[in-house]
Amino acid sequence: MKAKSIIVILLTLLIGFILGMLTSAQIRYHRLNPMRIYFSEDRFREGFYKAIQPDARQKAKIDLVLDKYAKINSGLQYNFRKELETNMKDFRREVDSTLTKDQINRLKDMDERRQQMIRHNRNNRDDDTLDFKKERRHSHDRGPDGDHPPIPNRDTL
């Protein structure tokens, strides 16, 4: 009798733990998902057009401005990443002289995991961008009954 109640309690805790993890992941995903629009030119462009719903004349002018600032923003992002990497290398050079070999090895392991995570995120971002482009391509097929009116393709203007 005691064993059954202990098993039921443990199963209940395990199920609650799993449901809590899944709920937490969904909440984080939905809170962070809107921020992803700012890190991809295509997502930003699509979201911007969806919000303002420009006509063809406006869209042609807005495209020029978006192209200009997309180049500026990608340059800023590139420079930020390069400068951050340089700062981290300088930091490590200065701090390594005070660390033990074991501590240095732990930091190297941490750096390797970080690099793996960055590579993994780049691969997923590329896949995500491809999926988004496919989704965007299919959104042009939607008519007036779709979720949103189709946005004219830049090539057709």
CA distance 90 to 88: 5
The CB-side HSE value for 11 (13 A sphere, CA atoms) comes to 6
Residues 133 and 91 in one domain: yes
φ, ψ dihedrals at 14, nearest 5°: -65, -45
| Radius of gyration of the chain measured on its C-alpha atoms | 24
Residues 49 and 84 in one domain: yes
Amino acid, single-letter form, for residue 149: P
Residues 60 and 119 in one domain: yes
CA distance 70 to 77: 10
How far apart, in Å, are the Cα atoms of 142 and each of 18, 45, 57, 151, 153? 38, 18, 21, 10, 13
Residues 134 and 94 in one domain: yes
pLDDT of residue 146: 43
Low-confidence ranges of the chain (pLDDT < 50): 129, 132-133, 136-157
CA distance 65 to 41: 12
Range of the domain at 5: 1-36
Residues 86 and 13 in one domain: no
Domain count for the chain, please give it: 2
How far apart, in Å, are the Cα atoms of 21 and each of 17, 27, 28, 65, 116? 6, 10, 11, 43, 23
Residues 30 and 45 in one domain: no
Residues 57 and 91 in one domain: yes
Angle of the 56-96 helix axis to the 41-52 helix axis, nearest 10: 140
Q: Is 144 helix (H, G, I), strand (E, B) or coil?
A: coil
pLDDT of residue 17: 92
Taking the model in full, what pTM does it have?
A: 0.45
pLDDT of residue 143: 41
Residues 31 and 44 in one domain: no
pLDDT of residue 136: 46
Residues 66 and 138 in one domain: yes
Q: List the one residue out of 84, 66, 85 whose CA is nearest residue 74.
A: 66
